[in-house]
Structure 1
């Protein structure tokens, strides 16, 4: 792979290597081989070119969990257009805001190519853009070089050990950067096969799908690993390993998969740079060592800001069509996380923008959450800072638990046994379900603003 490769080049390489008849992508309607996918992308490339997609033409592509939208994405990027991946579930206002921030001229959704504004200066290199998860508010549009993005996904494929015999079941919607970069791009680079289900699957439906397609790798999030681990999905199929990202992977979620003999990988990445680390032991706050070419720096003995860099990537935040650089002169990007980096790899301790200041004491929600998640009856939890009656900040814990199992007094007493008094939540509030994004991340902004 070279820095100038497109997805058409990747697909053609597999065909020339004798792998054209191997399955590439499977959705709920159909499946395609690498040779068939190459032909479909080639035809769609010609269609999009006639509609104005080309070098420097900023284009939004709505990605659904259907192969046709993957073909749209592959064709647009192969035409050297700067491409913004749009999530199918995004509301109209959110989607319009993202397109405006990106400065998109065209949008592609299904068979429709719509012009959003007159064509402008078509300079610039091919780019790949995504929207951030929006856990703390309105999603931001992050854009970076296409070549570095493809190389980063290739590094993830190497780190996870993907090869042409693997079948990867991806549970997150393809409009999320984790699913398209650590999923589709990594799978296509490796010559493997990606299975993309339609929407959320119950454990029973997942078990049937697994029996049919015999996936070897599960690419998912902690919420799904935990849910499926309680059913027959673990024992179905031909699993070899699974990888989790997007939120903290608890021991509870990882345990059933480990007990079945699978390697459970915890993965750390972000919208700015893509895939950063892998941890083949999963669970806890350790997210492992950097992937090939990734550089990480963080605190030593004490938590400090986590920064990362990857050669060929200089991400920018797009605002009203203008690019705001996110990397410093040496290419380092502040991730917004706090952590410790040493011989055991990177251990995350929380988000710098979520630290709770109680009388000058900086409290990491991640530390409190790790203690609470280990308590009986707690399915999951989120800890945030909220103003109390006097206006001073308090620690609030939103606990996902059944009404019969929830006892705030017991949780408070057990928390006092393991945490400093200032870290023990003032308020414990039970919720049936924590608010989450489509990729499973907790939407803490809603908890802070609305109190659940």
Structure 2
């Protein structure tokens, strides 16, 4: 079956008038409401007039530092005004922005730098001690970039080559977002200006966003949802409240006192808010000016959904998207909330179809792999045409690798054909964690699987050591600590004498995952050596 968005929605009308580049989304507001506040963080606020003028100045400084059209530039930063300004300045230059989470390990960040062939790296050192540490390690010098102070500027990569510049916004890459992929090596998802603009515009349309909205941006801009939320809010002339690190107490206070109208999060965002309410002894969390709360990035537990909705007196709108789709694929409509775990209807302009693993069409209501097509689908993987060809066919259909079904126009995600673990909204690929564990001299083999935990997923690693090794789970935790960022580290490492495997040596991960769900005792699957957290 093939499905499109429900209702009488004129996609051409929604898409009309889109700018050519993401930095141009502010133009109408600079002209019509220059004093409107665009960006806010603790201790600072920029109006649309400020943003436009300062981004122009920053772009000129970047150019003087050797950043050219078609270059890749890495911005290592938590959410802050400096990050937004650098992102938009890169757009002005037709450079490709790579926003990197400063909590990445040295190994992870260096992989991105090397694979992308970045011209320069920039670090928001003042905002994040992790960014400052990376800046010091890589020889960056603190400089003023126009209105931005204390930005670490890394050395110029003289060997970097610029990519061709495309006038067509559907072909010119705006951002390069790295995901480690199932192979454990980085994959750079190339998203064009048009990818980002059309996804942001349709989501804003769905949510009835306008100039009166103030979004609490706690989801990191180093990931696609954060970038999209930033763009859509600036597109409608609203205000973006920048949040560098999530603190449920600060979030509750901001909602109560700062006029926040929209909160986006992953299930863990809301789980921690409710935990804060409980431990602080509050009778009720104030909804303040909230009019919309949304969740995505991980399976939604219905009990959590019910408790959040009761707390704020608003429906918790579930959605579904992935990096390669910029990210919007579907969402529960603002005017048609759902009581179950549905991820809503397809966004305007997005087509979806369900196929068997072998690509055969199946009937309405049956479960299969979800394929999608639309202007939101990525340009491809950077420097990996063979990987791109595996997921996007000749007709433009992208295979999400997720198992889904349609009930009428409503989409349900029921599982994943790939092994990816979603932890607090972050994608974690077992192969990357396994690669780091396997680099330990005493590790023979290992397997990493996900374990459901309060609407989230935990990472559990099973490890087989060399016979006679005295290495413990705690030793292995220490070994990986500085090689993997926090959300990629296992919650538990279980050491076994041998891992369950087929006669050909393929590890039976489904049996390990089943033992975590209580389907069979671990001792029946493999001999347990010792277990430590």
Relative to the length of structure 1, the TM-score reads 0.76
Q: In the alignment, what sits opposite 2:513?
A: 396
* Candidates 194, 212, 225, aligned match of 2:257: 212
Please list every run of at least 4 consecutive aligned residues from structure 1 whose deviation after the TM superposition is greater than 4 angstroms.
1-4, 133-139, 319-326, 378-390, 425-428
Structure 1 residues 270 and 349, CA gap change in structure 2 (3 angstroms): same
Q: In the alignment, what sits opposite 1:237?
A: 288
- Secondary structure, aligned partner of 1:114: coil
2-side partners of 1:62 and 1:117: how far apart?
A: 20
- Secondary structure, aligned partner of 1:396: helix
1-side partners of 2:258 and 2:515: how far apart?
A: 38
* Candidates 173, 179, 201, aligned match of 1:132: 179
2-side partners of 1:50 and 1:396: how far apart?
A: 53
Structure 1 residues 321 and 349, CA gap change in structure 2 (3 angstroms): closer
How many positions carry a matched residue from both structures?
A: 389
* Candidates 266, 288, 300, aligned match of 1:249: 300
Matched, 1:286 2:324: no
2-side partners of 1:92 and 1:2: how far apart?
A: 42
Report Cα offsets for 1:73-115 as digits up to 9, x if no partner: 1100121112222222212211121122223222232431532
Matched, 1:167 2:182: no
Q: Which structure has the higher relative contact order (CA within 8 Å, separation 6+)?
A: 2
- Secondary structure, aligned partner of 1:337: strand
Task: Please state how far the C-alpha of 1:2 moved relative to its aligned partner.
Answer: 4.6
Task: Please state how far the C-alpha of 1:217 moved relative to its aligned partner.
Answer: 0.8
* Candidates 299, 306, 311, aligned match of 2:370: 306
> Are 1:87 and 1:175, in contact at CA under 8 Å, matched by a contact in 2?
yes
Q: In the alignment, what sits opposite 1:5?
A: 20
2-side partners of 1:135 and 1:314: how far apart?
A: 18
Task: Please state how far the C-alpha of 1:229 moved relative to its aligned partner.
Answer: 3.2
Matched, 1:72 2:86: yes
Structure 1 residues 288 and 425, CA gap change in structure 2 (3 angstroms): farther
- Secondary structure, aligned partner of 1:286: coil
Larger radius of gyration: 2
Structure 1 residues 332 and 322, CA gap change in structure 2 (3 angstroms): closer
- Secondary structure, aligned partner of 2:418: helix
Structure 1 residues 352 and 384, CA gap change in structure 2 (3 angstroms): farther
Matched, 1:19 2:33: yes
Gaps of 5+ in 1: 356-364, 400-410, 413-423, 429-449
- Secondary structure, aligned partner of 1:9: helix
Q: In the alignment, what sits opposite 1:439?
A: none
Matched, 1:194 2:240: yes
Q: What do you get for the CA RMSD once the two structures are aligned?
A: 3.2
Gaps of 5+ in 2: 1-15, 125-150, 167-171, 356-363, 421-448, 463-495, 503-507, 524-530
* Candidates 90, 93, 103, aligned match of 2:117: 103
Relative to the length of structure 2, the TM-score reads 0.66
Alignment of 1:23-38 (within 5 A): 23-38=37-52
Matched, 1:335 2:400: yes
Task: Please state how far the C-alpha of 1:218 moved relative to its aligned partner.
Answer: 0.5
Task: Please state how far the C-alpha of 1:272 moved relative to its aligned partner.
Answer: 0.6
